[in-house]
Structure 1
Amino acid sequence: MLRKLACGAMAALVLASGAQAAKPVQEPSQGFRFQFVTGDDSALTQRITEDLYKRLVPIFAGFRTELAQHRRMLYVAIGPAALREVASKRCDCVVISAFTSSQVYRSIMDQAARGGGHPVASTAVYAEPAPADQLRLAALLYRRPVRVSAILGADTAFLRPALEAGKVAVLDAAAGDDINRLLNQIAQTDVLLALPDSAVFTTESIRNILLSTYRHKQGVIGFSGDMVKAGALATTYSEIEDIDAQVAEIAGAYVAGGELAPPQFPRYFRTIVNEGVARSLDLTVGDEVRSFSRRAADPAPARRP
């Protein structure tokens, strides 16, 4: 069963393991409600919700009842399991998804719409890096114009226009395609931009992809720190606090004006580089690469009752 953490402007955050689902709290003089929906009680999830609480409470506490009564319940769905539960409901509510990839977010919301569920409005801060930031990282690493390729499955095909606008050579992967054949088609490019598409990058295929690109002297811009540790060249990545800050900004804009921002890639990030892979590609990693980042402000301290 998914945990639901209900928060009003003055509500205490429920974090105890195994706690019962809490009802949203509406204080007559303290604005409207938000609620966390999570898939587990892990230490990582608790870290996320504690940080989000600090960021959201001051935002919600600043708006009083006359404005607030016209707003809907706002759910923050942390991870795919939580999003799946909230998306299946038919409710007069707003959902902000966090820590779920663009591919999975779109799949869940499409399934919910076909099944008759679907919140009134939803948006997301995706889990994976922004392609534009990844392309900028590649340019910083190579310090020259580079040929970048990407392999897209059906679920990531929506990224094609943005990638082609960035001069990326896009290759479509159909179900059952041999990954080695696809890699041979992009062997003349300098960089492979990896995207979290389950039709392309699986546990089994990632090792093969990294070995093949290494032999062809191609750098892989990965989509996670773990992928870089496994042999990708580099990636931008977002810490929990980076994602939480962006969620809070979206929530704040919605509370203030009723406008819900569209789904978006992480705005705040840092960079990790596999120095050994960089040396094998004859790349010198400069300070401009190591410091490539965009940082969020720290949250204001939350006052608890």
Structure 2
Amino acid sequence: MEIEIVTADDSNLTRRIAEDLRQRVRAIPGSLRKPIAVTIGPVALRREVTQRTGGVILSAYTSSQVWHAIGATQPGVEISGVYAEPNPADQLGLVALLYRRPVRVAAILSSDAAFFRPLLPSVSIEPFGEKDDINKVLNRMAQTQVLLALPDRAVFTTENVRNILLSTYRHGQGVIGFSADMVKSGALATTFSDLQDINIQLTEIIAAYALGGDLPPPQFPRYFRTIVNEGVARSLNLALDDGIRHYARRPVGVPR
């Protein structure tokens, strides 16, 4: 079975991801109709999209925004993968558990992240342009109870993140982050997927393809757990229970 793990650096994390994935794909039965390159991170994905002339590219550990920015592949190359960030549907499920009542949820999106809009029919979208001031945008949504943070590089810059977290805290708004690190920095909560979760999902995609299935479109992580900033939850008068702390979807045989 021709499966190549493509990396662009030799960091400890990249080596761990690649070795775990190699162990998993060795056990996949069947044969592939086309060779598959699994790219670890955005640099490896960009390189493969530019250079590969046939087969399949499976992208992993790359945000949906970067995936969409890369655009069409070379003729004859199929591309799919698993995005790096949480599924907005799972994040909204977490909002429902946290608040236990209908609340207004907003998201701030630039034009580069417009592909999120069809996924958020119940979310109020605040547009963010190149010349917009993040504080003015935040003031416009001051009556919204929840900000759903999406990995939009135009919005969540290093300079903006602190302002966003401080402003929403002052307004009594909960921020559903897009990474565990964001929760540790002051967001309310998020779902998150570790390398085991992502690698199991990639293995399932490859296994289904080897059995004669079609290559699916790119997808958000299927398996996840939850992290909550309990200090922020207390400040928002949110009562936490095990249903929130253990909100998860785990692979068969893998504990919560």
Q: Common fold, TM-score beyond 0.5?
A: yes
The answer to whether 1:248 aligns with 2:203 is yes
Q: How far apart are the structure 1 equivalents of 2:172 and 2:155? A: 20
Of the structure 1 ranges 170-179 and 237-246, higher mean CA displacement relative to structure 2 is found in 170-179
User: Aligned residues, how many?
Assistant: 254
Q: Which runs of 5+ in 1 are unaligned?
A: 1-31, 300-305
Q: What is the deviation of 1:63?
A: 2.0
The answer to whether 1:296 aligns with 2:229 is no
- Deviation track 1:177-217 (CA, whole Å, cap 9, x = no partner) reads 11011111111110000001011001110000000000100
Of the structure 1 ranges 176-185 and 229-238, higher mean CA displacement relative to structure 2 is found in 176-185
What are the within-5 Å matches in structure 2 for residues 168-183 of structure 1? 168-183=123-138
Identical-pair percentage: 59
Are the equivalent residues in 2 in contact too, given 1:100–1:126 (CA < 8 A)?
A: yes
**CA, structure 1 residues 119+107, in 2 after alignment: closer, same or farther (shift >3 Å)?**
farther
Instruction: Give the equivalent residue in structure 2 for 1:162.
Output: 119
Instruction: Give the equivalent residue in structure 1 for 2:145.
Output: 190
Q: How far apart are the structure 2 equivalents of 1:222 and 1:45? A: 24
Q: What is the deviation of 1:90?
A: 4.3
The answer to whether 1:44 aligns with 2:13 is yes
Q: What is the deviation of 1:141?
A: 0.6
Are the equivalent residues in 2 in contact too, given 1:90–1:118 (CA < 8 A)?
A: no
Q: Which runs of 5+ in 2 are unaligned?
A: none
Instruction: Give the equivalent residue in structure 2 for 1:14.
Output: none
The answer to whether 1:63 aligns with 2:30 is yes
**CA, structure 1 residues 101+158, in 2 after alignment: closer, same or farther (shift >3 Å)?**
same
Q: How far apart are the structure 2 equivalents of 1:245 and 1:156? A: 27
Q: What is the deviation of 1:124?
A: 1.5
Are the equivalent residues in 2 in contact too, given 1:98–1:125 (CA < 8 A)?
A: yes
Q: How far apart are the structure 1 equivalents of 2:53 and 2:191? A: 36
Larger RCO (alpha carbons 8 Å, 6+ apart): 2
Question: Cα RMSD over matched residues?
Answer: 1.4
Q: How far apart are the structure 1 equivalents of 2:75 and 2:44? A: 14
Of the structure 1 ranges 230-239 and 41-50, higher mean CA displacement relative to structure 2 is found in 41-50
What are the within-5 Å matches in structure 2 for residues 128-277 of structure 1? 128-164=85-121, 167-277=122-232
Hey, which bits of structure 1, 4+ residues long, moved more than 3 A? none
Are the equivalent residues in 1 in contact too, given 2:5–2:22 (CA < 8 A)?
A: no
Letter in 2 for 1:80: P
Q: What is the deviation of 1:119?
A: 5.7
Are the equivalent residues in 1 in contact too, given 2:209–2:215 (CA < 8 A)?
A: yes
**In terms of Rg, which structure is larger?**
1
Q: What is the deviation of 1:154?
A: 1.4
Are the equivalent residues in 2 in contact too, given 1:245–1:297 (CA < 8 A)?
A: no
Report the 3-state secondary structure (helix = DSSP H, G, I; strand = E; otherwise coil) of the residue aligned with 1:249. helix
Letter in 2 for 1:38: T
- Deviation track 1:24-73 (CA, whole Å, cap 9, x = no partner) reads xxxxxxxx3010000111111111112111211111xx225xxx4xx111
Are the equivalent residues in 1 in contact too, given 2:189–2:226 (CA < 8 A)?
A: yes
Report the 3-state secondary structure (helix = DSSP H, G, I; strand = E; otherwise coil) of the residue aligned with 1:181. helix
Q: How far apart are the structure 1 equivalents of 2:154 and 2:67? A: 15
